Chains A and B, each alone.
Chain A
Amino acid sequence: MDYATLLQMLDATLRLATPLLLACLAGLYSERAGVFDIGLEGKMLMAAMSSAAVAALTGSVWVGLLAGIGGSLLFALVHGVASITFRGNQLIAGVALNFVASGVTVLIAQDLFQQGGRTAALTGAARFAQIDLPFAESLRAVPILGPFYAEVLSGHTILVYVALLLVPLTWWVLFRTRFGLRLRAVGENPASVDTAGVSVVRLRYTAVLITGVLCGLAGAYMATGLQAGFGREMTAGRGYIALAALIFAKWRPWYCLYATLLFGFLQALALRPDVIERVVGVNVPIPALDALPYILTVVVLAGLVGKATPPRAGGEAYVKER
């Protein structure tokens, strides 16, 4: 594989990893606070539809982004009400919301646009434009690093850079602030947080709503950055891959970045079977590449590569007094 092809692949990796990274960080907040969320997929889908629909109707991608976050927040709120207030089964609530999202997005898109469940194709200001990083063209002449900077790092939409910046920010929030300490504590031992006089319910709601915002960014990026509009089931299991990445990353922010870049790279590979055949020499079936993130996650869960220990109070509703 020549250097130019490698750069193309890495560029695709970064693009494909971004929704995974955003959703993975989203799940990180919720699960670190002790609320399991397998509804990432549904929230992304809802955000993708809302952002694409509103961007198409208003012509402004920024209004679309806000609508996407709103749609995702609505689902996050229902998840919070079911799993925090009414102490319902968090896993079942997530599964349920995924189904509702899968159906309701098509219903609304069909009602608004009458295009078989798709939204109108987005053009111009209704999509996120590519941003060229400073000096990308002038530095291109620098050997090896220059083309990497110009081809891979430069020329993405704003949400890609936002996602990358969110990694250190999340690390800082979770591990260097009082809020983060409390958030992690509420996922490990909510009773201790309660004893300290801090509201478990408020903390968990905050975490679930942050998850909603980040899923909103992920979905909006899918529909207005990566592609130009919403199509039915367009997230195609990315919420579950993000969940897999979260486990792969053992619930740590920086590892989330590495895990999603790896899974993004696998997705990029699946798009270029010719490259694999040239490099490996054998014809690797595409389905094997599609299945690889899931197989890797099972391997990690099996404890074969270190131990993935979830937050201890994850999945359990907190009962103040028994």
Chain B
Amino acid sequence: MTKLPTWADVVLVPLISLLLAAIVSAVVLLSIGQSPMEALSVMVEGSVGSAYAWGYTLYYATSFIFTGLAVTVAFHGSLFNIGGEGQAQLGGLGVALVCLALPWPHWTLALMAAMIGAAVFGAAWAAIPAWLQAKRGSHIVITTIMFNYIAAALLIYLLVNVLRPDGQMDPASARFPEGAKLPQFADIPLLQNLFAKYGPDGAVKLGKDGLAVYEQVPANVTFFIAVAACFAVWALMWRTRLGYEIRAFGKSEKAARYAGISPFKIIMVAMLISGALSGMMAINNVMGESERLLQNSAEGAGFIGIAVALMGRNHPAGVFLAAILFGILYQGGAELGLWTSIPIELRTVVQGLVILFTGALDQMVRMMLGVFFRPNRKGAA
């Protein structure tokens, strides 16, 4: 098989994969009698067509950045962490316990404590599969899947029997105190101007108190933490000894072992970082949006991390872009459910197809592209 030039491998392969996923999705839409072009325009308009739409797209993207980075770190150590969903739910539990523990005086303090809570709980949930893989050789894919289900059962139990306040019907924790409320985009000076509501006369709408009224969107300060996390993961993987060791271990366990790298340490550390990153997505959805812990709080974002990491070619920059793309898909898909007769499940189909083409059929795409990059053999014997 022809070896592709680096730029083609990094840019062209994911783009072609995405295109193939889009074509198959279009065929699915056509076969159920819907118009793919109409679907596309509704999705694009609803996800990037206005500041309001971006406020939702970036909210979803924030979660996906965290889970995508989580899968990426594990992938570099040749560990496939499917447990992001469970780790994110446990991260939510950590956030809830921290936020409910104290009457927080200011959101910055609450945020820092909640980040630690989320990371510790997420990492703890990844620790057992990691230990079992490192010590007993139990396949991490199977154990992390099992831990997703165990996490779901554990949270249902805790929400129904322990965290639910007296007299409340739905299985959810109490609402977090006012001091733990994270600023959303419409609360941040300068940025909020984008979300100002305009009256029919074109002037900014004013509330009863004479202040401007802003459209509430769920995107919040966590987005900036997610961007920082991208840089942190990049620095960790390519600028530190630990990152080098994780990548070396992922490329060849035997070579790494010969170089004096401890497999046990690498498996544990890579999975703990991965679990912590998955857990940290909870500050976006649990602390930043719902402001209480709900059942199934991660809403599949842990699984989307797999697609994001594959699409982003396991690089933080790629993960960032892929997360935005999936944010668009998610917000656009929700709009489809609202405005058209196309079910919201279309986004699950697209998500699955992207994983299929980028993660499992990547060789096929490379073979297809290889035809165009075949070296000129005229001079060769």
Partner-B contacts on A (CB < 8 A) = 38, 78, 81-83, 86-93, 95-104, 106-108, 110-111, 117, 232, 237, 240, 243-244, 247, 285, 287-288, 290-291, 294-295, 297-298, 301-303, 310
Which chain B residues in 15-40 approach chain A with CB under 8 Å?
A: 28, 32-33
B139: which of A98, A110, A310 is its contact (CB, 8 Å)?
A310
Total A-B contacts with CB atoms under 8 angstroms apart? 149
Q: Which of A81, A83, A99, A110 contacts B352 (CB 8 A)?
A: A99
CB pair A108 B142 closer than 8 Å: no
Asked if B116 CB lies within 8 Å of chain A CBs, one says no
Q: Smallest CB–CB gap between A38 and chain B, Å?
A: 7
Which of A102, A103, A243 interacts with B142 by CB under 8 Å? A243
Of A81, A86, A92, A102, the contact of B355 (CB 8 Å cutoff): A92
CB pair B146 A298 closer than 8 Å? yes
Interface size on B, residues (CB 8 A): 48
| Shortest Cβ distance from B351 into A: residue | A99
Known contacts A288-B157, A301-B139; A86 and B363 CB within 8 A of each other: yes
A301 and B360 contacting across the interface, CB-CB below 8 Å: no
| Residues in chain B near residue A88, CB distance under 8 A | 359-364
Chain A residues contacting B347 (CB-CB under 8 Å) are 103
Q: Quick check: is B118 within 8 A (CB to CB) of the other chain?
A: no
Docked-complex contact B345 and A295, CB < 8 angstroms: no
Give me the 6 closest cross-chain CB pairs, A-B, nearest first: A99-B352, A103-B348, A100-B352, A88-B360, A103-B349, A93-B360
Indicate with 1 or 0, residue by residue over B131-144, a CB within 8 angstroms of chain A CB atoms: 01000111101110
Residues A290 and B346 in contact, CB atoms below 8 Å apart: no
Whether the Cβ atoms of A298 and B132 lie closer than 8 Å is: yes
Interface residues of B in 149-171 (CB under 8 A from A): 149-150, 153-154, 156-157, 160-161
Q: Which of B352-381 contact A (CB under 8 A)?
A: 352-353, 355-356, 359-364, 367
Contact string against A for B residues 215-237, beta-carbon threshold 8 Å, 1 for contact and 0 otherwise:
00000000000000000000000
Overall SS of chain A's interface: helix
In the complex, B145 has a CB within 8 A of chain A: yes
Known: A82-B361, A88-B363. A111 touches B32 (CB 8 A): yes
Report yes or no: A97 in contact with B352, Cβ–Cβ below 8 A: yes
Report whether B356 and A301 are in contact in the complex, using a CB–CB cutoff of 8 Å: no
Q: Is the CB of B364 within 8 A of A99?
A: no
| Smallest CB separation, A152 vs chain B (Å) | 28
Asked if B353 and A106 sit within 8 Å, CB to CB, the answer is no
Question: Besides the contacts A93-B360, A103-B347, A301-B146, what 15 more A-B pairs have beta carbons closer than 8 Å?
Answer: A96-B360, A100-B348, A100-B352, A107-B345, A243-B145, A285-B161, A287-B154, A287-B157, A287-B160, A291-B150, A294-B146, A294-B149, A295-B150, A301-B139, A301-B143
Measured CA separation A81–B349 after assembly (Å): 19
